[in-house]
Amino acid sequence: MTSPPPPTEQTPTILLPSLPQNSLVGIDLLTFTSTPRFTGIKSLPPGPHFVFAGASASLSSRCGFWFVVPASPSTTAGNQKGHTPVDANEEPFIRIWAWNSENEELGLLVDERERERWRERLGERETQEKLVEYSRAVEASASAPASTSAEVEAGAVANGDEAAATDVPATLPESERVKATDWGLLISHVMPELLSRLCCLPSAKGTGGAQTGEGWIISTTSTGVLDREDIPGLEGKWEGERQLGFLAIDLKRTWREGAVGEERTRGARDRSWALEEVVEHGGKGKGKGIWGDELLGEMQVCFLMVLLLANYSCLEQWKRILGLVLTCREALESRTDFFVEFMKTLGLQLRHCNDVEGGLFEISEDGGNYLKVLLKGFRRTVEEVCTGKDSEVTREMGILEDYLRQEWDWEISDSFLRRGMVQLEDGENVELEVSELEGEDERGEYAPVVVDEGSLG
């Protein structure tokens, strides 16, 4: 009599049973369309991850959850070889989420019997074969040819179609390795304390936040208080909606209470005081790294939720963070480490803007002009504050400027001709002047005007 095969090693695993066929599934920067064969994802590396799903691959409402795979001796040793064995005395990391067809979103599988049944089945080789290995999918996505969709490549691996997947070389080129490890860089400041604050703000119903023992839930429609529209007659519209606990950033008041005259004007032009207030007094969890670590983490989460869920409220908070940081002057001198890290974070995010269908800035009505204006002003500030210095901020600014010029044809430097003579085809010389960005240069109708106090009555 043939004995059954021995149970396979259990690794950190996310199970997603009962997903409808052809629904959108994603983990971190990987997305693919599910098939009946797909059951979940295994061999997850330590650190924060985000899993999400939607009814279709189109821009439908999506729902997902953040979770953190704890680092341990077994996970550390396992990831060096692409596997994560479980110590006999260590509880394996297993999360089971099911699709709610009524609400069309992911939710915690609450049936205890069903949960136990899936845990038992994890030891079976047949179940293991229906789980996509995280590192394998990342490598397939990273090594996909330029003419092939990375989504298709990762999906082929995820759904067990090895023949359809691109053969992954044993050693990826250096450029592809960088691409494959971008997730770790994009969440370098994200911590559990930050996720608890962002995703756990009690709702208007008083039902508590979106945190469970399994992870932190967020959806396309999750919103922050500042982005709610309180329409008369629709006061109960937001009841039961998942609210986001953003850091309080009010760009309309960036000076201390009671400030008048010159101090108030200085606070409006240089938002360093407001930045200090947000970092020192905002949020429950404090960053464990550099000064401003938690603000950088929120910036990262907001960007990723725009990228993966098309969450409008997160886009608005991301823009508020940029509007706060990129208009500081005094802080640029005293908080150099923070600004260096901020520029690196922003540069990496901008390299992923086109991961969104149609491009990130097409979601926003200003089409990216908001960021372009901020960067032009910040570049001038860097030149003035860091003149004659071999500053890391200056170097990071130069790297970002070169990228924007080459990839997006953005010119954020002031060193270009604004007025000049142009010779037409018939030989006539005509003087032309560029009228764009007059507000930033304080030209034309935006030029400062000297007013006689006596004329004010």
Round to whole Å and give the CA distance between 97 and 15.
6
What pLDDT digit, counting tens, does each position of 219-254 carry?
988 888 888 765 454 444 445 567 899 999 999 999
pTM for the whole thing? 0.80
Average pLDDT over the chain reads 76
* Strand 105-108 relative to strand 94-100, pairing: antiparallel
Tokens 């304390």 -> residue: 193
Rounded to the nearest angstrom, the gap between the alpha carbon of residue 191 and the centroid of all alpha carbons in its chain is 14
Per-residue pLDDT, 181: 64
Per-residue pLDDT, 279: 93
322, 378 in Cβ contact below 8 A?
Answer: no
Q: Which residue, among 67, 54, 144, has the nearest Cα to 99 in the 3D structure?
A: 54
Residue 286 pLDDT > 80: no
391, 336 in Cβ contact below 8 A?
Answer: yes
What pLDDT digit, counting tens, does each position of 378-416 carry?
999 999 888 766 689 999 999 999 999 998 888 887 655
Q: What is the CA radius of gyration of the chain?
A: 26
What pLDDT digit, counting tens, does each position of 184-200 carry?
999 999 999 899 989 86
Residue 110 neighbours by CB under 8 Å, 6+ apart: none
Residue 445 to residues 362, 436, 438, 455, Cα–Cα distance (Å): 29, 12, 8, 20
Residue 328 pLDDT > 70: yes
Write out the E strands in 196-344. Answer: 211-212, 215-219, 223-224, 243-244
